[in-house]
Structure 1
Amino acid sequence: MSDRAIRARGALGSWSAVMLVALVAVAVVGSLTIDGVASPRFWRFVTLEAIPIALIALPMTLIVITGEIDLSVASVLGLTCTVVGQLWVWGVSSLPALIAISLLMGAVLGAVNGLFVTGFGLPSLAVTIGTLALYRGLAYVVLGDRAVANYPVAWTTSAIKPLPGTTIPWVILVVAALAVIFAVVLHATPIGRGLYAMGNNAEAARFAGVNVRQAKFWLFVASGAMSALAGVFWTLRFASARADNGTGLELAVVAAVLLGGVSIFGGRGALLGVLASVCLLGVLRNALQLAYVPENTLTVITGSLLIASVVGPNVVGMLRERLRRRRSNAPTVSPSS
């Protein structure tokens, strides 16, 4: 069998391919059994809901591959929303300026996480649980229980404006461009190979010349900046800045990343699977809402998928390893003389 055939066979058998097949299956079954799933309006809503999750999931994928995690992302999003609202109240009327300030602030917040993790050697789980509470608290300090909603109509409509001839918002092109950048970095550069090496064995990666601390620090910076960008989109989409914006979104992001085949222990995963799982979760959730499934049940389903995302790839890996060993131990028949 040629190298190309072997690679193609591996790709078809990968977890990313499983996610793509599951996405198509859920979309087809939902379209045939639930009224409204096949409508353009449904897919527009799914896309709008998936955009902030996808933006945050891009750097989160790289972070988890290195064996770390960032649970403060939803709080960064919420704090960004409140800062955008407060700056608008103070008279900052330039949208590019608001976006630039938000990205800078998100990068600083991410740098705080990165400093504690890489500078002080603290576990990212503990650090980001702490900053999850801290950043959400700062959001309430900025706006309290108030909501800012008097943004220019041009701003709010531009964020959800559809592509010509479709119902899909144009912002999806921004997400696609960023996804290509992250995918190239992860899968086609020495940086990406270093990230996988960190996840498998950080000490060995360090001896191989990978600057583990620097790489992880900048990943947290990227995570903060992308979370802030998602916060700007959230504010404009809903035309409202509130301190509780995005509460609990970190669960959806982590579920998408792990369900997409990224190992919680690091060292394994691909962006294609993550993006497919973002779409899968969005389609599944919205389809079940159209079927009048209670919100509590949807939360149970999300939690179950999160558990399955941890167990599933490991089970598949175990089955592959068992099959490989069985083939290697199979007796060979010598040709008759």
Structure 2
Amino acid sequence: MPEPLTRAVRWDTVVGALLIVLSLLSFGCVDGFGNALNLSFLLGNTLPIALIALPMTLLVVSGDVDLSVASTAGLSGAVLGRLWNEGLAIQTIIPLCLLLGVACGLVNGLLVTRLGLPSLAVTIGTLAAYRGIAQIVLGSDTVTDFPPQYLDFAAGRIGDSFLPRAFPLFLVLLALAAVVLHATPFGRSLYAIGAGEEAARFAGIRVRRTKLVLFVATGFMSALTGVFWALHYASARYDNATGLELSVVAAVLLGGIDFDGGRGTIGGALAGVFLLGALQNVMSLLDVSAQSQTVVTGVLLVVSVLGPRLARRFAVARRPA
């Protein structure tokens, strides 16, 4: 099979093409999609998914998953609101929230790597636990009176453009994740672990330590997302980011990251994130109900698991014997 055609049937290439087609159709056919306010709204709403998708991509490539990310983000936002109400300076609160995220990721990582528990079961448990702690911390209160300069950074735009002020920070984190996964021995070790954990261990890769680092990084980014969420929407509540884990996992898998590990790219994950974000934005502009949008996300989650497998089978079937 010719190399260009082989590349064309790669799932991440398909998703990138779908993103381009959806964008072109939306600019041409959906009223209001192309104005600066809506594009800024789209990017601002997609950034929480994109931030968590970066470490989640690395984690899924290694063969694990963290379903507690939304609850960690909610807990981070709840602590932000509670400490702000207690009178602490926000410059002190934000590092504390990030350290809390590190602690949440460390708990997940230790349960998985030291006790040998499956990450799916562990993080379903901590999903409930962290959300419960968030409710204890903040109760039913809503905190909104954060410093204007922080609210403007999280929700404002760069000059007259549609780009959010926080977008350059995301680009830095994106570049860091891409370099780590695709241009370092650490990234290559993640593919090796995902392809075969025992073989990676025999090859000298420190599997448990590597996975622990990934869970800690995911907890850190989830807490950062929780802070961003509270400031972007000017609202710290215990139920912030509820259901975000579904969008993150759907976007990552939609981008061609194999749930079994060992396959995937940051570029594919990014395409999946923005395809999902653009689709949700278009559905909102077309007055599609929130329940229907959830159904679409669920369907995409199924497609994202089935699609890459079909694409690989097609590519294998077309190879010369």
With the length of structure 1 as denominator, give the TM-score of the two structures.
0.92
For residues 233-271 of structure 1, what are the alpha-carbon distances to aligned partners after superposition, in whole Å with 9 as ceiling and x for unaligned? 001111111000000000000000100000011110001
Q: Which residue number corresponds to residue 333 of structure 1?
A: none
C-alpha separation between the residues in 1 aligned to 2:268 and 2:18?
11
Pairs aligned (count): 321
Q: Which residue number corresponds to residue 296 of structure 2?
A: 301
For residues 111-170 of structure 1, what are the alpha-carbon distances to aligned partners after superposition, in whole Å with 9 as ceiling and x for unaligned? 000000001000000100000000000000001111111112222112222123412112
Q: Which residue number corresponds to residue 215 of structure 2?
A: 220
Q: Choose which of 121, 131, 155 in structure 2 pairs with 1:160.
A: 155
Q: Choose which of 31, 35, 56 in structure 1 pairs with 2:27.
A: 31
Q: Which residue number corresponds to residue 117 of structure 1?
A: 112
Q: Choose which of 202, 221, 232 in structure 2 pairs with 1:237.
A: 232
Query: Structure 2, unaligned stretches of length 5 or more?
Result: none
C-alpha separation between the residues in 2 aligned to 1:104 and 1:230?
13
Q: Choose which of 133, 145, 148 in structure 2 pairs with 1:150.
A: 145
Q: Which residue number corresponds to residue 171 of structure 2?
A: 176
1:45-64 correspondence runs (5 A): 45-64=41-60
For residues 257-293 of structure 1, what are the alpha-carbon distances to aligned partners after superposition, in whole Å with 9 as ceiling and x for unaligned? 1000000111100010111111111111111111111
Q: Post-superposition shift, 1:192?
A: 0.8
Matched-pair contact (CA < 8 Å) for 2:153–2:166: no
Tell whether 2:11 aligns with 1:15.
yes
Q: Which residue number corresponds to residue 126 of structure 1?
A: 121
Q: Which residue number corresponds to residue 335 of structure 1?
A: none
For residues 182-239 of structure 1, what are the alpha-carbon distances to aligned partners after superposition, in whole Å with 9 as ceiling and x for unaligned? 1111111111111001111000000001000000001000000000000110011111
Indicate the larger mover: 165-174 or 275-284.
165-174
Q: Which residue number corresponds to residue 332 of structure 1?
A: none
Tell whether 2:81 aligns with 1:89.
no
C-alpha separation between the residues in 2 aligned to 1:28 and 1:21?
11
Tell whether 2:133 aligns with 1:138.
yes
Query: Structure 1, unaligned stretches of length 5 or more?
Result: 329-337
For residues 274-325 of structure 1, what are the alpha-carbon distances to aligned partners after superposition, in whole Å with 9 as ceiling and x for unaligned? 111111111111111111112221111111100000000000000000101x
Amino acid in structure 2 at the alignment position of 1:208:
A
Tell whether 2:262 aligns with 1:259.
no
Matched-pair contact (CA < 8 Å) for 2:104–2:216: yes
CA RMSD of aligned residues (A): 1.5
Amino acid in structure 2 at the alignment position of 1:63:
L
Q: Which residue number corresponds to residue 277 of structure 1?
A: 272
Q: Post-superposition shift, 1:100?
A: 1.1
Cα 1:9/1:318, change in 2 over 3 Å: closer
Matched-pair contact (CA < 8 Å) for 2:19–2:275: yes
Q: Post-superposition shift, 1:98?
A: 2.1
C-alpha separation between the residues in 2 aligned to 1:176 and 1:10?
29
Q: Which residue number corresponds to residue 309 of structure 2?
A: 314
Structure of higher CA gyration radius: 1
Calculate percent identity across the aligned residue pairs.
48
Q: Which residue number corresponds to residue 334 of structure 1?
A: none
Matched-pair contact (CA < 8 Å) for 2:9–2:315: no
Q: Post-superposition shift, 1:13?
A: 4.2
Q: Post-superposition shift, 1:92?
A: 1.2
